[in-house]
Structure 1
Amino acid sequence: MAAPTAEDAPAGPAQRLAELAEEVPGELGVVLLDPEGGEVAARNADRPFTSASLYKLFLAHAVLDEVDRGTLSLSDTLPELGLTVEQALDVMISWSDNASGAALGRRLGWQEVEAFAHEQGFGATTFDPGTGSEDVVAMTTTPADVADLLDRLRRGELLSGPSTELLLGFLEEQHLDYALSSGFSPDVGFAHKTGLLQDVSHDAGILELGGRDYVVAVLTDGWSDYEESAPWFGEAGREIEASVREDAAAGPLPAAAP
């Protein structure tokens, strides 16, 4: 019986990403982090993409930071919506409501939101200071910035304990599960946020498997419409889950000898 060759070996994360990238009409950007924040896989991590609704992750961070500072209250009302700040955050994240995102951005000021993001280390993430409606097209971010935000969120490094729990809860309640979630097995938990415009489709969140949390950010562009990207995201979800299961099975590295 012939010995196994390299071609017979299971595909690793890098090979999986390369194969997935071939099916994206534009570019694919990915960052996958393990429970300790180590990089499992990455591709085009620093390439700017149109943010689509991923901008709402950074906006939620800015809003809740104001809450933590005491300059804004979750019970404050947004008159144009008839919603409290907390209610607007909820529907902005869990339903990707654009009107709530626009109202919260105006409440804080788009220039202030961008400045805050940069101060927090998300230097490649930009906002359109002129945006005052539901048309959000001039904002950019990178897979690395999105993954960094989620990694710091899960560690409790971004916000107070109550604000961290609130935002994680909104992500866990996500109602838009058309992307990576469509390829995950039932035992995979995913607290996440999608982003969708005609030619871009993204999904990013905290993936839980067997008590271990991974961060994944997948950004893509070049699509003709949502229907074109949906099947690809199902396959991407399956491949990312395979990489996570392999990493989880390997377990943590043994401690170095003293």
Structure 2
Amino acid sequence: MEILHRNIERILTAYTGRWGMVIVNQSTGARLELNPEMVFPAASMIKVPIMYEIMRQAAAGTISLDDSLTVTSCFRTGGAGILKELRPGLTLTVRELVTLMIILSDNTATNMLIDLAGMEAINKTITGLGLKSTVLRRRMMDFDAALAGKENYTSAADLALMFANIYHSRGLPESYGALMMDILTRQQIRDKLPFYLPAKTVMAHKTGTLTGVEHDAGILFLPGGPYIICVLTGDLAANQQGIQLVASIGKVIYEYFHKEK
């Protein structure tokens, strides 16, 4: 991947901030890494391990994906998502809440699922999966907690491992890994890694955004793949720069691997 490395470094020269990346060919094990262990505010990337823990508890019989939960005022919050715009008292299944948490990054759904699974259980599973820098310390949009130092964190290396765990259904029955992959492929926020890719390109991924932070990570499916791709950015002068940076990296990754085959 030396040529790809050079192409990415060429893009990075036009930007300020910091970044961490991991690209893995799942078929061959070949890896490209830039600051893989660098820690970033997780933003909505933390929703991926939350999803995994919900699936783990469902597989264990602790909860059911078909259980219904009511969207009450204590959960409704701002930021990304659709539930804040809908009528109070709406009832959805756990499966529907997980879907909204991933494909629309719904913060209300996320907070409901954090309370359902339990923050301690989520963090225990994160550690058990081998993630070294990822931690859930606060609910979505809890900026008071963030200011008090209770931030959620992750790294590109952790996310690469997280997506490998999902792809291979590690620690779960295969049907739950397949369900997570299906939800991730229905991602509707496509302004970063897939932005310049042909419309029919399949990518199972999750994005994350905070002030000065733009992330995208997941699995790109090509004839020579699949490829795990994790690109995290931080300390951005403007978020639009981060969006353009990640989208440009997605383009050169696609062109490199597409040409390779």
> Which TM class, normalised by the smaller chain length?
0.7 to 0.9
- Tell me if the contact between 2:59 and 2:176 (Cα under 8 Å) persists in the aligned partners: yes
What aligned pairs does 1:108-123 form with structure 2 within 5 A after superposition? 108-123=117-132
- Tell me if the contact between 1:61 and 1:158 (Cα under 8 Å) persists in the aligned partners: no
Question: Which residue, 21, 36, 45 being the options, matches 2:27?
Answer: 36
Q: Report deviation, 1:187.
A: 5.2
Q: Deviations over 1:101-148 (max 9, x none)?
A: 1111111221221122101211211111xx245337510011011011
Structure 1: state its 5+ residue gaps. 1-9, 250-258
- Tell me if the contact between 1:32 and 1:215 (Cα under 8 Å) persists in the aligned partners: yes
Letter in 2 for 1:33: V
- Tell me if the contact between 2:102 and 2:183 (Cα under 8 Å) persists in the aligned partners: yes
Relative distance call for 1:69 and 1:204 in structure 2 (3 A) is: same
Q: Deviations over 1:81-108 (max 9, x none)?
A: 5221101000000110011111111112
Please give the alpha-carbon distance, in whole angstroms, between the structure 2 residues aligned to 1:47 and 1:195. Answer: 16
Relative distance call for 1:24 and 1:158 in structure 2 (3 A) is: farther
Residue 209 (structure 1) aligned with residue 203 (structure 2): no
Please give the alpha-carbon distance, in whole angstroms, between the structure 1 residues aligned to 2:2 and 2:127. Answer: 37
Relative distance call for 1:122 and 1:162 in structure 2 (3 A) is: same
Letter in 2 for 1:185: P
CA RMSD of aligned residues (A): 2.0
Q: Report deviation, 1:204.
A: 0.6
Q: Who is 1:189 aligned against?
A: 202
Q: Which has the larger radius of gyration?
A: 1
Structure 2: state its 5+ residue gaps. 73-90
Q: Who is 1:45 aligned against?
A: 36
**Percent same amino acid among aligned pairs?**
24
Please give the alpha-carbon distance, in whole angstroms, between the structure 2 residues aligned to 1:106 and 1:37. Answer: 39
Question: Which residue, 98, 118, 135 being the options, matches 1:126?
Answer: 135
Q: Who is 1:147 aligned against?
A: 160
Number of residue equivalences: 237
Q: Report deviation, 1:47.
A: 0.8
Q: Who is 1:92 aligned against?
A: 101
- The normalised TM-score by structure 1 is 0.85
Relative distance call for 1:189 and 1:68 in structure 2 (3 A) is: same
Question: Which residue, 153, 160, 169 being the options, matches 2:173?
Answer: 160
What is the DSSP-based 3-state SS (H/G/I as helix, E as strand, rest coil) of the residue aligned with 1:182?
coil
